[in-house]
Amino acid sequence: MTQLDDARPGDWLAVDAVGGGPDRRGQILEILGAAGHRHFRVRWDEEHESLHFPAQGTRLIPEQQAGAGPRA
């Protein structure tokens, strides 16, 4: 089981940028898939929603650690 299997709606994802840009952060709105194959509907900092299939470089930030927002 990975840390992402413990994700809950309201938690945040931080995704390492490719090519040196800023990291992306988004709040999990919905969890899809089974344990070990989770993917998420996420509302990103840029104010759009998409499905995210995590890969290396995706970190979970529990809601209580995110503070008031994604960059806290």
What would the two tokens of residue 58 be? 């995706």
Domain boundary assignment for the chain = 3-66
64: pLDDT strictly greater than 60: yes
66: pLDDT strictly greater than 80: no
In the block, tokens 């840009």 appear at 21
68: pLDDT strictly greater than 80: no
| Confidence at 7, pLDDT banded by 50, 70, 90 | very high
For CA atoms 26, 27, 33, 34, the dihedral sign is: positive
Strands 49-52 and 39-44: antiparallel
What would the two tokens of residue 56 be? 């290396």
Mean pLDDT of 44-66: 90
pLDDT digits (tens, 9 = 90+) for 23-48: 899 999 999 998 878 899 999 998 89
Q: Tell me the C-alpha distance between 62 and 66, whole Å.
A: 6
Domain 3-66 has CATH 3.40.50: no
* Claim: this prediction has a pTM higher than 0.85: no
